[in-house]
Each structure stands twice: as structure tokens, then as C-alpha cells.
A and B are shown apart, each in its own frame.
Chain A
Amino acid sequence: MACAGPASSGRPMEKRVTFDNRLLPYLLLTPQLVVTIVFFFWPAAQALYQSLLLPDPFGLGARFVWFSNFEYLFNDRYYLQSFVTTAVFTFFVTLVSMSVALLFAVMADQVIKGAGAYKTLLIWPYAVAPAVAGVMWLFMFQPSIGVIAFYMKAVGIDWNPVLDGGQAMTLVILAAAWKQISYNFLFFLAGLQAIPKSLIEAAAIDGAGKWHRFRTIIFPLLSPTTFFLLVVNIVYAFFETFGIIHTMTSGGPGQSTTILVYKVYSDGFVGQDLGSSAAQSVILMVVVGILTVIQFRFIERRVHY
């Protein structure tokens, strides 16, 4: 597995032999740096600056207000609620998609016939865009036309995610978890295949049953993969599920599926509350920063395995 990034400092990260040229390296770097500055650093600086401003109601000017946008956010019931919503959403998406993927991976690792075909059939949902996944799941579960919704109602379930926040949340969790199964499956399968078969055989000879072997040998050896996937899934649920929320519920009913990323969008573009949206962006940048650091620290550790 490639380990990238500054986390690998300490091990050789410099070439012994290099070229001498004064101008060329700058020319080579220019395209990437220009794009990075114009579309990353400038907007990020804008977000930082705007988060300290309060635009007047007519949009003509803005007043510098220090941290009052942040103060306001942390006293805003809806914003705090959105944190809880995001936590619930992230927890269940991660739990459902990882456990289902692990089950499939353990099975696919053991069957000999057809393993390749199973793999192919399980990985292609990765290619479905989150927004398209949302449309597909809505098509099945929409209360008025969805075919699964129809049969749920036929067996007496009062299914109406358009009005019931809990049901809406269940629906977006299912769609988001479904989309991520392929990715988790692929990494779990690779992790399982890397475990030496001799270890498992030795345990079997000592009389350890299947479940016992899984619990005491396979699962602990899989923990680096599991931890890596945990971080990836949290990042996914936080930042890459916008399309699912937007196509399925638009954050509703009420605010019941408004995760943090969705709130940045809806407050900024729909509510036109730029100061608050910018402050939320800044808070999310801090969250991404923390997650990225965790990811890299962990990758660094795993290289030593």
C-alpha cells in the first residue's frame, strides 16, 4: 500500500541524485500552485475573513464582528442539532456498511469457486454517484410510488419518510451505507487475503472452531484495515454524502437529515446567511484537518507492520 505524505519523514524521502536547474522546477510547479492558490487558498482565506464579518441586511456592506458568528453558532439550537444528526448518521453509515462488507469479505475469502465473479459483482456499485444512489433508493422507497414502500405498507408498516424524521434518517443511512459497501469489501478482502493461511491452519489443528478463529486470530490481524476503513468511512459520511441527502430529503423533514455539510450549503446558498455559512466552513475545515492528521499518523504506524 502506498504511503504518501510528510508523515513518512524520517525515512529516506530525498533523492541522492538530482538535476541542476534554476528555472525548470518552478516552471514545473507553476500550474499546480496557481490552481491551488486560486481555488484553494484564496477561497479558504475568504471563508476565514467572512466568518468574522456580519453582512448588513441589505447586503451592501459588512461589519467586522470578531467571533460573534461562532458564538452565535454554538448557541444556535439548530446548529448543535446538526452536530448530533451528523454523529448519528456517520455512526450508522459506518457501522452498517463496514459490518455488511466484512461479512461478505469473510465469505468471499473462503469460497474457492466463483470468488472472482462475486468480487466483480460486489464492487461495481462503487461507480454509482452518491446523487444517483439517492435517486435509485428514493425510487424504491418513495411512499407514493416506491415498490418496496408499497409492500411495507401492505404488511402494515406506517412508512412515510416525507413526514417522519426517523424514517427519513433510516433511508439516507441505508442509501449511504449501500454505496460504501463495495469500497469496504475490497479492502477487507485484501486484508483477509494477506493473513497467512498457516496461522489459521495451526489454530484449526489445535481445535479452534470457526468463530473462535475469527475472533482470536483473523479479527485482530485485520485491525489495521479496520481502523483505516473507520477513518475513511467517517470522512465519507461527513463530506461525500451531500448528493444523497440533497436528492432524497433535502435535509428534511424539518432539519432531521441536515448534516453539517448540508447546512453549509443550505445556510449559504438557500438562506443567504454568508457569515454563518463561512463560520461553519471554518469549523468543518478544522474537522477535516483533525481527520487528515489521524489518517496520516495511522498510515505512518502501519508502515512498520
Chain B
Amino acid sequence: MVEKQGFGTILMHAVLIIGIAIVCFPIYLTFVGSTLTHFEIIRPPMPLVPGPHFIDNYSEALTSGITAPVGRMLFNSFVMAMGIAIGKIAISILSAYAIVYFRFPFRMFAFWAIFMTLMLPVEVRIVPTYEVVASLGMLNSYTGLILPLIASATATFLFRQFFMTVPDELVEAARVDGAGPLRFFKDILLPLSVTNIAALFVILFIYGWNQFLWPLLITTRPEMNTIVMGLKQMMPTADDYGNWPVTMAAATLAVLPPVAVVIFMQRLFVKGLVETEK
């Protein structure tokens, strides 16, 4: 560093530690709330250290919940997140391969058609998309949860960008050895793309897990709810005291999988975030 480390460094550590405390406080408090009784919470101030009701609250949340068992909602979220992540990667890598490695009529047209989807987030075209999905009979189904969200220009561009950096000599060598396009894709391009696929998977899993508006609209049956939107349904309202500890247990469970992904796959997560820029 430029200057002698001294009081300034201590100050910087202090700012960072206070900052982290503030940033983490909402999540900590949610966890504390999930270990108390309903009575302790509705008569403020609630205690700021965890109580002894961890097991009661979590087992109640997982097995019966409030609107539907949280275990079931976690499963739905998992299916949705995996479906979106795998689906997006699969269709994007194929279309990027077609656009980069082949010459055919309408190639640029296909490219622009995919590019346009960047401009249409689901929140913007929500009513007509709902009508389309309803008319296809996909309400309350995993297909309806996943399919409309798997078209993605971002993933296609990421793969296209990566394919452009793959040396042409590899294609030439493959052709000399008599490998066709499918063989080249399977044995050379796919293995080279593994890191990119993994980084993208981390980002897309979080994206899929955290969807809110879409499942809110198309899952009307509680057993099809995902955890993030189901949480809203569990929230105590003005005329209903609800059950705060169980709701907070559900909130903790809702953030656990994506947070674990970020912490344990931090390197891939950062790579994915920087490359997708989205």
C-alpha cells in the first residue's frame, strides 16, 4: 500500500465491520424471528438473540406450513430453478452454435429475433404472456412455470462470445480427422465450455429460484406455489395475526439454497455475474 498502515487502516476495518453488520442484520433478525414464539414477536420489542424454538418452528413450517407445507414449496422452487437453468443453457448453447458455426439464409434474422427478447422482461408483457400460457392450458404446471422463462438472449450471447474465441484450427483439425458438426460439438466445443456453463448455471439457478411475479400469477393452487411467492401468502396481514415464527422459518429456508450457492461457488458466481452483466 501507498502509505504506512496505521489509524486509517483500523478506521477502514471499523467501517467495513459496521457495514457488514448493517447489511447482514435483516437476515440475522429473520433467523432470530424463526426461533421465537409468535407471542414474543407480536409484543415488541422482540429479543435480539435466538430463542429455543428452532426445531418446533422449522418442523411445523416444513411439514404443515400455513398455506401449504414449505417442504413442498421448496421442492417446487427447486424444480423451477433447475428447469430454468438447464433449459436456458441447453437451448442457448444450441442456437449459439448454429449462429456461429454455420452460414445459412435468415441467420442474421434469427440473431436479431433472439436479441429482441432482451427488451421484453416478463414484468413488462405480463398480461398477454399470462393469456398465452392460460390458453395453452399450462396454469398450475411445471411446464408453465419454466418454459416462458427459458428464452434468453443473454445466455445465447455469452456462448456466442465464447465460441468466437475458440481457435479456428480446432474446426479444421476436426474436419481433417473426419468429424462432423455434431461430433465436433459434443467432443470439442462442449468440454471447452464447461466453466462457462457452470458459471452461467449458478447465475440462472439464483434467477430461477428468485422468480416472484410469474409463479404468483400462474400457480393458483397452494401445492404448486414456489417458496418465494408462497412467503407472501404466509405473511400475517392487518386482520390476521398469522404465525410470524413459521413465516420467518420459511423466509430463512427460502434464502438458504441461493445463498449457499453464492458462498460455496463464489468464484463461478463472480465469473457468471461479470460475464452476463445481468
With A19-B102, A274-B127 known as contacts, the answer to whether A131 contacts B229 (CB < 8 A) is yes
| B194 contacts partner chain A, Cβ-Cβ < 8 Å | no
Contact B212–A243 (Cβ < 8 Å): yes
| A77 contacts partner chain B, Cβ-Cβ < 8 Å | no
Cα distance, A265 to B122, chains bound together (Å): 11
With A16-B168, A136-B30 known as contacts, the answer to whether A5 contacts B94 (CB < 8 A) is no
What total of chain B residues lie within 8 Å of the partner, measured CB to CB?
118
- The interface residues of chain B lying within 8 Å CB-to-CB of A242 are 123, 212-213
Contact B111–A6 (Cβ < 8 Å): yes
Contact bitstring A117-146, B, C-beta under 8 A = 1, else 0: 010111111111111110111111000111
Q: What 4 pairs across the A-B complex have the smallest Cβ distances?
A: A4-B157, A129-B210, A127-B258, A46-B128
The chain B residue sitting closest to A24, CB to CB, is B181
| B142 contacts partner chain A, Cβ-Cβ < 8 Å | no
| A223 contacts partner chain B, Cβ-Cβ < 8 Å | no
The chain B residue sitting closest to A289, CB to CB, is B119
Cα distance, A24 to B182, chains bound together (Å): 9
With A132-B231, A135-B231 known as contacts, the answer to whether A44 contacts B101 (CB < 8 A) is no
Contact bitstring B158-172, A, C-beta under 8 A = 1, else 0: 101111100010011
Cα distance, A108 to B15, chains bound together (Å): 10
With A17-B168, A40-B120, A274-B127 known as contacts, the answer to whether A128 contacts B151 (CB < 8 A) is no
Contact bitstring A264-288, B, C-beta under 8 A = 1, else 0: 1100110000100110010011001
Contact A24–B263 (Cβ < 8 Å): no
In B1-51, the 8 Å CB interface with A consists of 1-3, 5, 8-9, 12-13, 15-16, 19-20, 23-27, 29-30, 33, 41-42, 44-46, 48
Query: Number of contact residues on A: which range applies?
Result: 35 or more
Interchain CB contact (< 8 A) of B255 among A37, A128, A284: A128
Task: Tell me how far the C-beta of A122 lies from the nearest C-beta in chain B, rounded to whole angstroms.
Answer: 6
Taking each of B25, B45, B150, which has the highest tally of chain A beta carbons within 10 Å of its own beta carbon? B45
In A25-80, the 8 Å CB interface with B consists of 25-26, 28-29, 31-33, 35-44, 46-47, 50
Contact B213–A129 (Cβ < 8 Å): no
Interchain CB contact (< 8 A) of B261 among A127, A131, A138, A232: A127
Interchain CB contact (< 8 A) of B127 among A28, A123, A186, A277: A277
Cα distance, A288 to B115, chains bound together (Å): 13
| A188 contacts partner chain B, Cβ-Cβ < 8 Å | no
Interchain CB contact (< 8 A) of B132 among A24, A38, A228: A38
Knowing that A21-B181, A132-B255, A135-B251 touch, tell me 16 more A-B residue pairs with CB under 8 angstroms: A2-B276, A2-B277, A19-B102, A26-B98, A31-B94, A112-B1, A121-B23, A124-B263, A127-B255, A136-B251, A145-B44, A147-B29, A147-B48, A204-B3, A261-B123, A292-B118
Taking each of A19, A47, A137, A145, which has the highest tally of chain B beta carbons within 10 Å of its own beta carbon? A19
Cα distance, A32 to B41, chains bound together (Å): 49
A–B pairs, 30, beta carbons within 8 Å: A1-B274, A13-B164, A15-B100, A28-B95, A32-B156, A35-B148, A50-B127, A50-B128, A103-B15, A104-B19, A111-B16, A121-B20, A121-B23, A125-B23, A127-B255, A127-B259, A129-B210, A135-B247, A139-B30, A146-B44, A147-B48, A178-B26, A243-B228, A246-B216, A265-B126, A268-B126, A274-B127, A277-B127, A278-B128, A292-B118
Cα distance, A35 to B79, chains bound together (Å): 19
Task: Tell me how far the C-beta of B223 lies from the nearest C-beta in chain A, rounded to whole angstroms.
Answer: 19
- The interface residues of chain A lying within 8 Å CB-to-CB of B278 are 232
- The interface residues of chain B lying within 8 Å CB-to-CB of A16 are 168
Contact B120–A19 (Cβ < 8 Å): no
- The interface residues of chain A lying within 8 Å CB-to-CB of B258 are 127-129
- The interface residues of chain A lying within 8 Å CB-to-CB of B82 are none
| A200 contacts partner chain B, Cβ-Cβ < 8 Å | yes
Contact A123–B212 (Cβ < 8 Å): no
Contact B206–A127 (Cβ < 8 Å): yes
With A2-B275, A15-B168, A110-B1 known as contacts, the answer to whether A178 contacts B115 (CB < 8 A) is no
- The interface residues of chain B lying within 8 Å CB-to-CB of A239 are 121, 123-124
Cα distance, A240 to B25, chains bound together (Å): 23
Interchain CB contact (< 8 A) of B262 among A25, A124, A187: A124
| A3 contacts partner chain B, Cβ-Cβ < 8 Å | yes
With A120-B263, A129-B228, A232-B277 known as contacts, the answer to whether A39 contacts B148 (CB < 8 A) is yes
